[in-house]
Chain A
């Protein structure tokens, strides 16, 4: 603890919403980032000096900024040595992770599980496992200015999220560049997506607990030369992505593709498909399989399909009598698709596509929220009730003996003194011969213990 207190330098520059002073905790090369996270309180910023950090960092608290410091090209480098699983795991909301170089982990570079209001930016992720950046179950996120390569699934994988912007990233030498999966309200713009097996994917994957992908804008991206041999893990969803694919829209709805430069993808520029595009996955009747209301606005496409193969080649031959793959191929059973200037592209399967009424998405500047997802303020009375019924009631019934004495007898002893209960239950001493000793409830915060005590004292039945 001495070391930790040395690490903590109270910057006291920001007055945080929770009315506590935010601190800045500095981590030097040779020290542990996790120790700083453990010491940090919500609102704190952890700065990490250039150096090599061989650890997995997990953040199970809210409102933490984890910030690498870059000095003359030297980065804070999280190094997995091909042994460690994930570089950074977070479950809290309001997490910012920026300016890290992440190398050689086996699982993910940065993985979020259910945190809202996340920012992941300016990170450099190299040869790091399955996903480079993977927020899951999060609402309101920003992923920008990251550079990722050598990822054996998706470099940037947004899975089961709402309201996310993915912009200004460079992703290359990975199986999939950017994957938007079972996610709504996603804006993918200004990314440089090159030399992957497949460039940008907007998917529904069946068998997941959140079933839909819709309202996705993919615009102003360079999607170039995605011709890498597929090196995905056998059995993974992206293992079927054909090499040379610029974009795949599978079972996602309301996807708008605008102003992208899509060139040099040897198999196909944009593939639009239903769920049957992937074989060997158990069917999920709760996943609607078709890509509906796809809108292809103006895009610059050339030089795609020069070395087509597999199903795309067979379809190209059958439908266009060409051995070249198309700029756009629709093999999905979706409805109400549209396209501007269809005649600019070599395509098949767009017979039902009408001309789009909308010509631009310029009205949409972001899909992140104007205000952060509010952290639900839980009233003390609610906490007291939930703690009483979730915890206390396991041993105390209102007017009957269970494991502990009845609530009525506790009321008689402590009426008007909830603070005394809150204090007692943190470290109980056995008072009554006829009851077992109470286990300490010190895992509950002072606030929750007091709220439970107050709730207990006002019960009438």
Chain B
């Protein structure tokens, strides 16, 4: 019925000579073919849907909360997208055509080789504009029910519209985005592959495909996970001591960065410093208008945290050691003068020793797993160079 051939890597049968070169529009009919199998980690089930299969789904969690201890279940994930939708999302994710001036793609700030972040304290959008916050990692984002540092989006589809249409990020608008994609014969064909029977490309389809790809980014197979599943030798003695400091009620890291995702998905005011010279970032309060939430940000997952320096919403801390040390330098020590914040009760003065700080950092490095990292496409349908501005190349 369906071809058994897997197109993990896009087949790209055209020579560059065939490209028109006009605004990235390709003259020839598409020979792009979307994958008909699910990305690694997902099982294809009827009717043509990808579902996650993972050991963590076999464990329970209290009240199905998706938080707990070592052998607690993950929350429900966004799934059920088709292989074609996920693969289309992957192509768009790397395609600078999605930005207003074809200069940046999603991957410019969420680079797969940089933990799906960008290595910058604050990200750079079109026309080299510096945006106000650090790019969060996208690993395991399909499990999250709050998105953005200020928690303002409750679905991936909603989140995606943030960077697409933010004037400082990708700078696009819905009409221009639709025009760009509809003028590209590859995309018209690819959307028909991914959304059978549809006439033309719709915004909802764009969001669905991007959400499908984002939700396929799974990192649950680190050395820590091997330990959690019962292999005691997966971690060194020092790393286990680091885990014990991490979950102790002195450091209290795991009270908010709770396994298995290493986030409790709550909002918290912890009083980290802003970039020098920037106005105080009020976080969630700017969205809700609730003054008690001033300076409140989402508790991020810290899986793959060793890959995503610099840290915090402002990108103020360049190393994990500095980040961890923040928590022992005193409750509210970095809050600007004149600011009165409802600092979270778990922020206290644990008086961690240098050795304990080092051990926490060692433990955090065991949370790295990129075994299911998706392939970067060699070419994208626009014919533009994948990524656009690429933080690794510095272009």
**A107 to B250, Cβ gap below 8 A?**
yes
Complex Cα distance A161/B68, Å?
A: 10
B63 to chain A: closest CB distance in Å?
A: 5
Contact of A400 among B8, B59, B69 (CB under 8 A): B8
**B268 to A397, Cβ gap below 8 A?**
no
Q: Is A8 in contact with chain B by the CB < 8 A criterion?
A: no
Name the interface size band of chain B: 35 or more
**B267 to A139, Cβ gap below 8 A?**
no
Main secondary structure of the interface of A (DSSP, over half): loop
**B371 to A394, Cβ gap below 8 A?**
yes
Chain A residues near B163 (CB, 8 Å)?
Answer: none
Q: Is A280 in contact with chain B by the CB < 8 A criterion?
A: yes
**A115 to B69, Cβ gap below 8 A?**
yes
Chain B residues near A89 (CB, 8 Å)?
Answer: 244, 247-248
Q: Is A395 in contact with chain B by the CB < 8 A criterion?
A: yes
Q: Is B236 in contact with chain A by the CB < 8 A criterion?
A: no
Chain B residues near A237 (CB, 8 Å)?
Answer: 345
Contact of B348 among A111, A115, A134, A233 (CB under 8 A): A233
Chain A residues near B372 (CB, 8 Å)?
Answer: 393-394
Q: Is A402 in contact with chain B by the CB < 8 A criterion?
A: yes
**B62 to A131, Cβ gap below 8 A?**
no
Chain A residues near B6 (CB, 8 Å)?
Answer: 397-400
Q: Which of B31-64 contact A (CB under 8 A)?
A: 37, 40-44, 52-55, 57-63
Q: Is B290 in contact with chain A by the CB < 8 A criterion?
A: yes
Complex Cα distance A281/B291, Å?
A: 11
Chain A residues near B52 (CB, 8 Å)?
Answer: 389
Q: Is B306 in contact with chain A by the CB < 8 A criterion?
A: no
A86, A233, A390, A444 pick with most chain B CB within 10 angstroms: A390
Contact A113-B254, Cβ < 8 Å, known A282-B296, A389-B41, A390-B41: yes
**A235 to B221, Cβ gap below 8 A?**
no
Q: Which of B69-120 contact A (CB under 8 A)?
A: 69-72
0 or 1 for each of A382-405: is its CB under 8 Å from B? (1 = yes): 110111111101110111101000
A335 to chain B: closest CB distance in Å?
A: 24
**A111 to B342, Cβ gap below 8 A?**
no
- Among B16-24, B136-144, B226-234, B386-394, the one that faces the other chain is B226-234
Complex Cα distance A386/B221, Å?
A: 11
Chain B residues near A229 (CB, 8 Å)?
Answer: none
Q: Is B264 in contact with chain A by the CB < 8 A criterion?
A: yes
**A391 to B53, Cβ gap below 8 A?**
no
0 or 1 for each of B262-306: is its CB under 8 Å from A? (1 = yes): 001111110000000000000010000010110010000000000
**B249 to A394, Cβ gap below 8 A?**
no
Q: Is A56 in contact with chain B by the CB < 8 A criterion?
A: yes
**A376 to B58, Cβ gap below 8 A?**
yes
Q: Is B184 in contact with chain A by the CB < 8 A criterion?
A: no
Contact A137-B249, Cβ < 8 Å, known A114-B61, A393-B41, A443-B233: no
Chain B residues near A236 (CB, 8 Å)?
Answer: 345, 348
Chain A residues near B229 (CB, 8 Å)?
Answer: 443-444
Contact of A281 among B244, B292, B371 (CB under 8 A): B292
A95 to chain B: closest CB distance in Å?
A: 11
Chain B residues near A429 (CB, 8 Å)?
Answer: none
B313 to chain A: closest CB distance in Å?
A: 15
Chain B residues near A92 (CB, 8 Å)?
Answer: 71
Complex Cα distance A268/B299, Å?
A: 37
Chain A residues near B267 (CB, 8 Å)?
Answer: 207, 282, 284
Chain A residues near B290 (CB, 8 Å)?
Answer: 282-283
**A235 to B244, Cβ gap below 8 A?**
no
Contact A386-B61, Cβ < 8 Å, known A86-B248, A207-B267, A208-B264: no
Complex Cα distance A214/B67, Å?
A: 20
Complex Cα distance A129/B227, Å?
A: 28
Q: Is A85 in contact with chain B by the CB < 8 A criterion?
A: yes
0 or 1 for each of A208-221: is its CB under 8 Å from B? (1 = yes): 11100000000000
Contact A207-B268, Cβ < 8 Å, known A60-B232, A138-B62: yes
A82 to chain B: closest CB distance in Å?
A: 11
Q: Which of A45-96 contact B (CB under 8 A)?
A: 56, 58, 60-61, 85-86, 89, 91-92
Q: Is A322 in contact with chain B by the CB < 8 A criterion?
A: no
Contact of B61 among A137, A208, A397 (CB under 8 A): A137
Q: Which of B344-395 contact A (CB under 8 A)?
A: 344-345, 347-349, 371-372
Q: Is B65 in contact with chain A by the CB < 8 A criterion?
A: yes
Contact of B42 among A58, A389, A399, A461 (CB under 8 A): A389
Complex Cα distance A209/B237, Å?
A: 31
Chain B residues near A461 (CB, 8 Å)?
Answer: 2, 4, 37, 44
**B55 to A383, Cβ gap below 8 A?**
yes
Chain B residues near A258 (CB, 8 Å)?
Answer: none
**A209 to B40, Cβ gap below 8 A?**
no
Complex Cα distance A130/B249, Å?
A: 7
Chain A residues near B345 (CB, 8 Å)?
Answer: 235-237, 281
**B244 to A58, Cβ gap below 8 A?**
yes
Q: Which of A293-328 contact B (CB under 8 A)?
A: none
Q: What residue in chain B is nearest A280 (Cβ atoms)?
A: B342
Q: What residue in chain A is nearest B243 (Cβ atoms)?
A: A58
Complex Cα distance A56/B242, Å?
A: 12
Complex Cα distance A282/B291, Å?
A: 8
Chain B residues near A114 (CB, 8 Å)?
Answer: 61-62, 68-72, 259
Chain B residues near A390 (CB, 8 Å)?
Answer: 41, 53-55, 220-221
B229, B249, B259 pick with most chain A CB within 10 angstroms: B249
**A382 to B58, Cβ gap below 8 A?**
yes
A275 to chain B: closest CB distance in Å?
A: 11
Chain B residues near A160 (CB, 8 Å)?
Answer: 62, 65
Complex Cα distance A48/B319, Å?
A: 42
Q: What residue in chain A is nearest B372 (Cβ atoms)?
A: A394
**B244 to A85, Cβ gap below 8 A?**
yes
Chain B residues near A209 (CB, 8 Å)?
Answer: 65-67, 258, 264-266
Chain B residues near A283 (CB, 8 Å)?
Answer: 290, 292-293
Complex Cα distance A162/B40, Å?
A: 36
Complex Cα distance A58/B244, Å?
A: 8
Q: Is B206 in contact with chain A by the CB < 8 A criterion?
A: no
Complex Cα distance A251/B173, Å?
A: 45
CB-defined A-B contacts under 8 Å, sample of 25: A58-B244, A60-B228, A86-B244, A89-B247, A91-B69, A130-B250, A137-B62, A209-B66, A235-B331, A235-B347, A236-B348, A282-B292, A282-B293, A283-B293, A284-B266, A376-B60, A386-B53, A394-B41, A395-B371, A399-B4, A399-B6, A442-B231, A445-B230, A445-B231, A461-B44
Would you list the 4 A-B pairs with minimal beta carbon distance, nearest first? A114-B69, A114-B68, A107-B249, A394-B371
